[in-house]
Amino acid sequence: MKRRPTLLLQAAACAAFGALAAVSASPQGASKAPATPKAAAASRPSAAQAPRFEVAMLWPKPMPNHWIEGSSVGVAVDAQDHVFVLNIGDAFNARTEIGAAATPPTGECCSPAPSVLEFDQQGELVGHWGGPGSGYSWPQTPSGIAIDKQGNVWIAGSGPNDTQLLKFSHDGKFLMAAGKAVAPPPMQAPAPTAAPAGRGGRGGRGGRAGPPPTPPNNASMESFAGATRISFDASANEAYVADGSRNRRIAVIDMNTGAIKRFWGAYGKTPSDAATPAYSPDAPASQQFGTAVMCAELSSDGLVYVCDRANDRIQLFKKDGSFVKEQTVMPKTLREGSVWDIAFSRDAAQRFLYVADGMNNQVHVFDRQSLALVASFGEGGRVPGEFFALHSIATDSKGNIYTTETYEGKRVQKFTYKGLGPVSTAGRAVLWPTSGGKP
């Protein structure tokens, strides 16, 4: 019998992950306590419906010029459903990946693709730009990409000395830098030990000599300290910035001037520059965001969803920074944490919340109103439908999902929306057209 790579999101995943997820409107509490399977089942909608997808195995199409993607750290969709991918141009193994860019070339394959890649719905590369240019400083470590209502493209940078956001036209003309450029601290003698591995998707870069990181300054009204993501409130002409890698706060800026208007930390409290203890699932909930704060996404009903990656949680706020509630996601996850990015389904009510989990390499699907886990899909691996360091997620007007992978993942994938269906044990976690998922 011919099989199709169709996902009917599975109840088994729902039960497993629902037992780990808990919702709390109190900063003190109960969000870390695992729910019982019975309670988790009760928290799901009575007639559970889940989105269904097929992995688009031949999307995108090959790029010209022997180009290959670097570690891909951002994805955004414009009003024409064109998909913009942000990738890191120096995240390669020079000996084995980019021989065509060597001096002299060591082979035809391959060359780093431009930093910003624009694909149409068929997966054709229709635009490309980005990287260092006149009048602005390209981020040391590009980290996120977003597109506003006017079609302008915003780039966040989370590198050790990145203190600005950059705003470009749709085709890459520089428009504005938000945040004051800050000179990095003076060079210091190198430490005798190797640099620790980076966080959040800098695969292939390794430790590099350079000035020490610009220290956090969570009280700054002038600059950022490692911004990671951006979203927009067009009606108020404001942008919400996850600031992010050295700071641990949400900053709200004026979209025209870039001026910071207000900011807040976890639970709506004042953010602190002080170091926080490493996350432990058995410890009381941290009263500060962890490192890094990976997203600040505004829903259509005016709630700000914040990805507190290291603390395995999503926190919800009103636009003024008032805390509403939180949701843990796979709270036993250590190291990089579970909440790397989020996106909303494209129905009018934004019924579902999609969470990119780069440590467990899955997309988790939540009912947005109840924050009950509906299902999950994906697994670690390199074939279509699997993930390696799932970093970013976005949706288009048709409900399709796009994901990017960092470290050595270095790709974008498309998951075609196939409508709603009941959660079923016949569903599989991996979108691969063989019985039972992986062979």
Structural domain spans, the chain: 6-187+196-422
User: Is the confidence at residue 312, as pLDDT, over 70?
Assistant: yes
Q: Quote the pLDDT of residue 125.
A: 98
What is the mean pLDDT of the segment spanning 204-230? 83
| pLDDT level of residue 429 (50, 70, 90 thresholds) | confident
Contact call for residues 239 and 296 (beta carbons, < 8 A): no
Q: Quote the pLDDT of residue 311.
A: 97
Pairwise CA distance, residues 64 & 117, whole Å:
12
What is the mean pLDDT of the segment spanning 193-214? 52
Q: Who wins on pLDDT, 24 or 209?
A: 209
Q: Name the one residue in this structure whose structure tokens are 């399977």.
A: 37
Pairwise CA distance, residues 311 & 293, whole Å:
9
Pairwise CA distance, residues 22 & 38, whole Å:
13
User: Is the confidence at residue 164, as pLDDT, over 90?
Assistant: yes
Q: Quote the pLDDT of residue 192.
A: 54
- Give the least confident one: 62-66, 232-236, 418-422: 418-422
| pLDDT level of residue 3 (50, 70, 90 thresholds) | very low
Q: Quote the pLDDT of residue 342.
A: 98
User: Is the confidence at residue 156, as pLDDT, over 90?
Assistant: yes
Share of the chain above pLDDT 70, in %: 80
What is the mean pLDDT of the segment spanning 330-352? 97
Where does residue 177 rank: exposed (0-12), middle (13-18), buried (19+ CB within 10 A)? middle
Contact call for residues 162 and 236 (beta carbons, < 8 A): no
| pLDDT level of residue 95 (50, 70, 90 thresholds) | confident
Q: Who wins on pLDDT, 268 or 17?
A: 268
Q: Quote the pLDDT of residue 439.
A: 42
Contact call for residues 133 and 100 (beta carbons, < 8 A): no
User: Is the confidence at residue 198, as pLDDT, over 90?
Assistant: no
Which fold does the domain 6-187+196-422 belong to in CATH?
Neuraminidase (2.120.10)
Pairwise CA distance, residues 228 & 356, whole Å:
15
DSSP β-ladder status, 83-88 and 116-119? antiparallel
Pairwise CA distance, residues 147 & 139, whole Å:
17
User: Is the confidence at residue 184, as pLDDT, over 50?
Assistant: yes
What is the mean pLDDT of the segment spanning 112-124? 97
Q: Quote the pLDDT of residue 211.
A: 81
277 CB neighbour count, 10 Å cutoff: 9
User: Is the confidence at residue 203, as pLDDT, over 50?
Assistant: no
User: Is the confidence at residue 19, as pLDDT, over 50?
Assistant: no
| pLDDT level of residue 191 (50, 70, 90 thresholds) | low
User: Is the confidence at residue 14, as pLDDT, over 80?
Assistant: no
Pairwise CA distance, residues 111 & 92, whole Å:
10
401 CB neighbour count, 10 Å cutoff: 26
Q: Quote the pLDDT of residue 27.
A: 36
Q: Quote the pLDDT of residue 202.
A: 40
User: Is the confidence at residue 82, as pLDDT, over 50?
Assistant: yes
| pLDDT level of residue 313 (50, 70, 90 thresholds) | very high
Model pTM score: 0.86
What is the mean pLDDT of the segment spanning 292-319? 97
Q: Quote the pLDDT of residue 15.
A: 40
Q: Who wins on pLDDT, 84 or 26?
A: 84
What is the mean pLDDT of the segment spanning 229-249? 97
Per-residue pLDDT reduced to its tens digit, 167-182: 999 999 999 999 999 8
Pairwise CA distance, residues 128 & 125, whole Å:
8
What is the mean pLDDT of the segment spanning 213-226? 96
Per-residue pLDDT reduced to its tens digit, 355-371: 999 999 999 999 999 99
What is the mean pLDDT of the segment spanning 310-325? 98
Q: Quote the pLDDT of residue 432.
A: 63
CA 283 vs. chain centroid, Å, equals 26
